[in-house]
Structure 1
Amino acid sequence: MSHSALTTADTAAAVQRRVLTVLVGSQILSGAGLAAGITVGALLAQDMLGSTGWAGVPSALFTAGSALAAVAVGRLSQARGRRVGLAAGYLTGAIGSAAVIAAAVAGNPIALFAALFVYGAGNATNLQARYAGADLADPAHRGRAVSTVLVATTLGGVLGPNLAAPTGAIAEQLSIPYLAGPFLLAGLAYIGAAAILTVWLRPDPLLTARVLAAGTTPDVTAAARSAVTGRGGVLLGALVMIVSQLVMVAIMTMTPVHMHDHGHGTAAAGFVIAVHVGAMYLPSPLSGLLVDRFGRATVAAASALTLLAAGVLAATTPPDSLVWLTVALGLLGLGWNFGLIAGTAIITDTVPLATRAKTQGLVDVCVAVAGTTGGLASGAVTATAGYPVLTLAGGVLALAILPAVLASRDLSTD
């Protein structure tokens, strides 16, 4: 269907339903690809290098790769639409997955680090997909639209880590190191997500939104909200997502290493990360409803407090307590979810269609850099001061969101 051939029957609501359906399918697969790599990335580096101090490097590298990919996907989406931008990002992530396997087989740490950088494109694209869900959404329902895309990641995100052990066994049968096995799943999952978007994401949501906007009078409510938020909206939305990402990546990265060092096996670590990833996405419908009902700023503040609770609980939990460590990582995922949905809604409210995808890509660069910082720092902090210090510091850092929220209460959509 060409965008110029849109009829009155092809309303934004009708196209939006199709867009969300396609995005749900692609996100289920991409979630599996993302979570599989997260589960074993740090352990693979630790195994190859024999040092906990380097265990945070994989997370830092694929989040650094996310930064570059976010710019590329944003610019490509701005020029060619979401379908082309997102599909290209996932295919790049699949190439990175194959390169990780090759590096593990060769036992080459330098090649592994380079491959993890490329693998980060899948992570960036996974996050950029949430913006596609908001392109055609009514401003009053943007939180719920974003949440629909995010919650679709839950199934793959929960299955991915729990398949770490089986894919490891399959990898060994193929003469591939055990810990590289989940990257087999990641590569296939990213290829599948790219195929779904290429075939079925038609019409393109961003290009369609431009066509519909060109033929209608401006939305007074949206325009008023944009005037209220302005540059402050971009800054607040970016800050909320940046802090949430930094704290989440730092604690998440070192949790499997912390568990491994205290006698927990790969299956136990996979279970905890599966709960964490589930908490990152499964509460999305509730988060979206809260964002639309009580306002972006209110949910952003809830993100800070939830991340603080996660850090404190992880710091005070005995290393042998799988239950309470699982609860702490669940809270960590929930706090991240609150921050991502609130921040995304603020950014989308603020930025006009003419520059939307490009600006969203630039914001996600900052988010990815924050993740890189968290990943790099996490290994060093844990090696020198211990896991409890890392988690407690992360929780306290999350409180930086509160002053910005208090200074921007007029961003609430009540």
Structure 2
Amino acid sequence: MRENAVDHVQRRTLATLVVTQVLGGIGLSAGVAVGALLAEDIAGSATYAGLGGTFQVLGTALLAIPMTSLIAARGRRSGLSLGYAAAFLGAIGLVVAGVIGNFPLLLAASLLFGGATASNNQARYAAVDLAPATRRARQLSLVVWVTTIGSVLGPNLVGPSEPVARALDLPVLVGPYLFSVVGLALATLVMLLFLRPDPLLEARRRSLAGDAQVGPRGSVLEGLRILRRSRVRLVALLTLAVGHAVMVSVMVMTPLHMRHGHAELTVIGLVISLHIVGMFAFSPITGWCVDRFGARWVALAGALTLVVATLLASSSPMGSSSRLTLGLFLLGLGWSGTYVSASSALAATLTLPERASGQGAADMIMSLVAAGAGAIAGVVVDHAGFHWLALTSMAFALVVALAAISTPGLDTRAP
């Protein structure tokens, strides 16, 4: 009877997360294909083109701090809703920044916009709060997978957004953010209304992990201490953070690389969409592989895929090309391998009292590293070119591969 009740709550949780991931994915990715272009137009230099995306990733890291404390104290619903609400306000700010041409406002709005990524990221952990150990990676990857729908649809709204923006007498590049405003508003409402009962609070109540005491207190600083206690957790963190940074640094500068070769916005949107397909569409297979073969080998496969992807990107000409399209698709696929495997390893090795703090700290570090990579990416492209950015990213992907293959304990299961 107790098992049936848990399954019912788990199904309700997954259904709610599916809806919010789709809406959040639309809201977040609608502006991905034009973010660097809008930043370059307002700033007037390619050097600063990556700063919009960088501040968005930085916002993801900074918002992880209050979200982690809120999740620890009041559960997943409150923390995830905070992220989506902040991103909704950020989307409005990005529209205004594009209209008035204000770069500081664009950066501030990008910080808030990062809340959507923070919530979408943390949602994967909500999916496994009540999951049995044998299905943990598959349930986590299911939530990652449904992001495909919104995330692929979002960049393809670039084309339809042009007539909408023109009809409203707005700059063309702010058009996609109008769809972001709607998607993020709906994601906030669905999360607030339907993530009941809260999966983390329910897991604590049922004490599924067998802990005698499950305290509600938590913080990012506590999470950092928790992660430092285990080499396996540190390698999982390295895999999560560096794999994400490799993907972000190449992805955010790809639209610029393509536009400098006179690629049309519609084509840029299509390439980014295929990249996002690689990120999310195959995650259920990735999750199954983690449960079947272990996180270590999936992390290694993901890192090697990132190596191939960055090699292809480094040799691609400006504009649109089949080589760049394939490289971006594999960039997403390699990211999926490192992201799902590392997230599953963290979920397996963190006890119920440690989850909110440890997972929040891991996502904050992941976002901070990616923010740094995004900031440097614009400078590298401006002074050395996209070719060297991709090759530098390849070197970091090799670091992840070496760390994964040298850590057999990465396959540790929950106690």
- Common fold, TM-score beyond 0.5? yes
Structure 2: distance between partners of 1:321 and 1:54: 22
Amino acid across the alignment from 2:142: T
1:185-233 Cα shifts (integer Å, max 9, x gaps):
1121111111111111111110111111169589xxxxxxxxxx96123
- Aligned-residue RMSD, C-alpha: 1.8
1:168 corresponds, among 153, 162, 165, to: 162
Counterpart residue number, 2:265? 266
Structure 2: distance between partners of 1:184 and 1:393: 35
Cα deviation for residue 9 of structure 1 reads 6.0
Amino acid across the alignment from 1:251: V
Structure 1: distance between partners of 2:249 and 2:398: 16
Structure 1 residues 15-414: aligned runs within 5 Å: 15-213=9-207, 231-412=230-411
Kindly tell me: are residues 270 and 214 of structure 1, through their superposed partners in 2, closer, same or farther at Cα, counting changes over 3 Å? closer
Cα deviation for residue 317 of structure 1 reads 2.4
1:128-160 Cα shifts (integer Å, max 9, x gaps):
111111111111211101111011110111110
Amino acid across the alignment from 2:163: A
Cα deviation for residue 253 of structure 1 reads 0.6
Kindly tell me: are residues 385 and 87 of structure 1, through their superposed partners in 2, closer, same or farther at Cα, counting changes over 3 Å? same
Cα deviation for residue 262 of structure 1 reads 0.3
1:329-359 Cα shifts (integer Å, max 9, x gaps):
0000011111110111111111111131122
Worse overlay, 87-96 or 354-363: 354-363
Worse overlay, 8-17 or 116-125: 8-17
Contact 1:314 1:328 in 2 (8 A): yes
Cα deviation for residue 294 of structure 1 reads 0.4
Cα deviation for residue 116 of structure 1 reads 0.8
Amino acid across the alignment from 1:369: L
1:77-107 Cα shifts (integer Å, max 9, x gaps):
1111111111111011000000111111111
Cα deviation for residue 383 of structure 1 reads 0.9
Amino acid across the alignment from 2:394: G
Amino acid across the alignment from 2:169: S
Q: How many pairs were matched up?
A: 399
Amino acid across the alignment from 1:376: A
Amino acid across the alignment from 2:186: G
Any runs of at least 4 consecutive aligned residues in structure 1 with deviations exceeding 6 A, and if so which?
A: none
Amino acid across the alignment from 1:411: L
Contact 1:36 1:163 in 2 (8 A): yes
Kindly tell me: are residues 389 and 214 of structure 1, through their superposed partners in 2, closer, same or farther at Cα, counting changes over 3 Å? closer
Cα deviation for residue 276 of structure 1 reads 0.6
Contact 1:303 1:336 in 2 (8 A): yes
Counterpart residue number, 2:221? none
Structure 1: distance between partners of 2:292 and 2:262: 45
- Runs of at least 5 residues in structure 1 that lack an aligned partner in the other structure: 1-6, 219-228
Amino acid across the alignment from 1:365: M
Contact 1:78 1:355 in 2 (8 A): no
Cα deviation for residue 175 of structure 1 reads 2.2
Contact 1:69 1:125 in 2 (8 A): no
Tell me, what secondary structure is at the counterpart of 2:376? helix
Counterpart residue number, 1:224? none
Structure 2: distance between partners of 1:367 and 1:169: 37
Structure 1: distance between partners of 2:321 and 2:16: 37
Contact 2:58 2:371 in 1 (8 A): yes
User: What TM-score results when the alignment is normalised by the length of structure 1?
Assistant: 0.93
Structure 2: distance between partners of 1:90 and 1:314: 32
Structure 2: distance between partners of 1:253 and 1:214: 41
